[in-house]
Amino acid sequence: MNKDIYYIDINDEDETGLDAISLVQHPAIEVDFLCFNEDAKKIDFSADEDKHILTAVALRADHPIYRRNGDYEYWVVFTKDVIRKLVTKYAKNNLFNSVNIEHNDYSFVKSAYMIESYIVDKARGIVPNEFKDIEDGSWIVSYYIDDESLWNVLKNTDALNGLSVQGLFKLVDKQDFSSQKDQSFEEWLDEYMKDI
């Protein structure tokens, strides 16, 4: 299946960038989140009340994401350099607690508080065990959910399974962006696309 590939980019001087993170049923990045509570065995927490913490990959670095606009199908890629720019601008704009459900601007969650935000850097040892296979440069976040009904939905149902970023981005053609990429990634991307 041969589709166009675009790289995501932003500019620090305009309105491009992230404006929210959305709790969604079907995350485009193909990674579901983990909900941590007193019963969770994946991470050793000190004995305490239910933690109400969910941890998820917000953006996967150098991973093609399928998109469709009407009949037009294409792929987008967030590079690790662009992810760092996005996260930095998101922080500068003080938007870490900007969370909605299914990209609905009328359903912002007032009880989700980002308590962790980090970019995977395996050389520095910054990678959680639960996401050890995720690409270097990917963005992982944790939210404290201070609402029992939302927490129960996240923990006990399949209605919301992951995160999806929301914002205004520039799409840059693969050829225009290729000078910024190393050959090993281009080879990997070509192999990945053959299997689709």
User: Mean pLDDT for each consecutive 10-residue tract of the chain (196 residues)?
Assistant: 80 91 84 52 32 89 87 89 96 95 93 95 88 91 92 87 90 64 54 58
Q: What pLDDT, on a 0 to 100 scale, did the predictor assign at position 38?
A: 43
- CB count within 10 Å of CB 43 equals 13
Please tell me what DSSP assigns to residue 124.
G
Tell me whether residue 195 is exposed, middle or buried, using C-beta atoms within 10 angstroms of its C-beta: 0 to 12, 13 to 18, 19 or more: exposed
Find, among 112, 193, 120, 105, the residue nearest to 149 by Cα: 112
Q: Which residues contact 80 (CB under 8 A, 6 or more apart)?
A: 61, 62, 119, 135, 136, 137, 138
| pTM of this structure | 0.80
Find, among 92, 79, 112, the residue nearest to 19 by Cα: 92
- Phi, psi angles (nearest 5°) of residue 13: -100, 5
Six token digits for residue 39? 């019963």
Q: For the segment 117-170, what is each residue's pLDDT rounded down to a tens digit?
A: 999 999 998 988 888 888 999 999 999 999 999 988 888 888 988 889 999 999
